[in-house]
A and B are shown apart, each in its own frame.
Chain A
């Protein structure tokens, strides 16, 4: 059985275990996400005096993909703890556990597809052929998150307090990224957002799903970030892999 198939099977069983006592399973997260989008949508609609048709889909797609990025990075800190027994008893490449983790988070994202469809139909958003690119965008962002998770896993296994630091950084990034606010609110300082890597990941999905203009720059930045993360993860792996088992 190849490693991807194995990781896929394990991710399925992980989800099954987590929601074993629930009839609707991971859709609980979807319901919670929908309620968050509705509440924030209504509040920020009043605060920023935006039209609901314009702001609600923007906020919805932004929050869904932010939660994917956020939970993938944050839960990567727990890969070592959650799989401790397996690490200590099976000779399986660590990449396999990271792949399982990213696949599991992607499964949860797929459950949010219901909200995306609701938004598209409720606000009568025209679906254009470029939506096909969403699969490629999803694969490329999953690859990026795989390497980011790998770095987070190695470092947080070695340093216990890194999880708290990452949690704070992610909260900080949430407010600095145009998720609940729009880039144009920054008027002459809009260029600052271009330095935020999370903006570019989310922007690609927004442009495909909400028919916003797609910037080649965002695509190039995501690919460049992935390449940098591959390089950094290899360095971290070389430095920490041999003795990592003793830190788990």
Chain B
């Protein structure tokens, strides 16, 4: 279970002067904060599949990263009954352009906490799923954009844990690969596993989720049935 109780996240407003030790010694700066998330209360039960919708800058990714442990709440409490979480946001994080695709599997899987022994078995599965074949031994920066996405998404998919937080990336890649990804997630993410998905693509969200969170200005405006949530979103943002 994931439980957020009155969680707020504040980030300092940073300018050049505040980054300078010299200027901090001469002048005592008072750091001002901006609100990224405000008073979020939420309970997500095991096995629930939740969509997060909202326009850019509404706090979708920030909320995912907060649940994923990248950000720590400034106020309030975040309680997790399980710490077995996969956060998949920026695909290229943990990648080195100068290494081969094969080395990048090793590299990214360390960040994604794939066990070394388990990884050896998984390695071939990842290569097979990506469809890169012998190209896996070529330098990553020479891959086409499509090849890069296929490899990065494959690594992420094979490191999934009991709670999955995905930010926008399911539809990445060509149509054929997207279908493959969706099929993989559908067959591997059964009733026991929790999934929270942030996306602008309502059709994609409907494939996986039955509940939705509508976010605006760092606040939850609605949490409930997905179709109703989407209607609230369209209405509130004057999209209909």
Residue positions of A touching B, CB distance < 8 A:
1, 5-6, 9-10, 13, 16-17, 20, 85-92, 155, 158-162, 165, 242-243, 245-247
The answer to whether B19 touches A159, judged by C-beta atoms less than 8 angstroms apart, is: yes
Q: How far is the CA of A158 from the CA of B92 in the complex (A)?
A: 25
The answer to whether A86 touches B94, judged by C-beta atoms less than 8 angstroms apart, is: yes
The answer to whether B93 touches A90, judged by C-beta atoms less than 8 angstroms apart, is: yes
Category for how many chain B residues contact A:
35 or more
Residue positions of B touching A, CB distance < 8 A:
11-12, 14, 19-22, 24, 65, 68-72, 74, 85, 87, 89-90, 92-94, 96, 98-99, 103, 106-107, 110-116
B interface: dominant SS: loop
Q: How far is the CA of A159 from the CA of B89 in the complex (A)?
A: 28
The answer to whether B116 touches A10, judged by C-beta atoms less than 8 angstroms apart, is: no
The answer to whether A91 touches B107, judged by C-beta atoms less than 8 angstroms apart, is: no
The answer to whether A13 touches B11, judged by C-beta atoms less than 8 angstroms apart, is: no
Specify which chain A residues have a CB less than 8 angstroms from the CB of B68 in the assembled complex. 91
Looking at the assembled complex, report how far the CB atom of B113 sits from the nearest CB atom of chain A, in whole angstroms. Answer: 7
The answer to whether A1 touches B69, judged by C-beta atoms less than 8 angstroms apart, is: no
The answer to whether A90 touches B94, judged by C-beta atoms less than 8 angstroms apart, is: yes
A10, A91, A160: the one within 8 Å of B19 (CB): A160
The answer to whether A159 touches B71, judged by C-beta atoms less than 8 angstroms apart, is: no
Looking at the assembled complex, report how far the CB atom of B240 sits from the nearest CB atom of chain A, in whole angstroms. Answer: 34
The answer to whether B116 touches A5, judged by C-beta atoms less than 8 angstroms apart, is: yes
A interface: dominant SS: helix
Looking at the assembled complex, report how far the CB atom of B194 sits from the nearest CB atom of chain A, in whole angstroms. Answer: 16
The answer to whether A247 touches B14, judged by C-beta atoms less than 8 angstroms apart, is: yes
The answer to whether B21 touches A6, judged by C-beta atoms less than 8 angstroms apart, is: no
Please list 30 pairs of residues, one from A and one from B, whose beta carbons are closer than 8 Å in the complex, sorted by A's number: A1-B113, A6-B110, A10-B107, A10-B110, A13-B103, A20-B99, A86-B93, A88-B90, A88-B93, A89-B65, A89-B87, A89-B89, A89-B90, A89-B93, A90-B93, A90-B111, A90-B112, A91-B68, A92-B111, A158-B19, A159-B20, A159-B21, A159-B24, A162-B21, A165-B21, A243-B11, A245-B70, A246-B12, A247-B14, A247-B19
A1, A20, A89, A245: the one within 8 Å of B98 (CB): A20
Chain A residue at minimum C-beta to C-beta distance from B24: A159
The answer to whether A17 touches B94, judged by C-beta atoms less than 8 angstroms apart, is: no
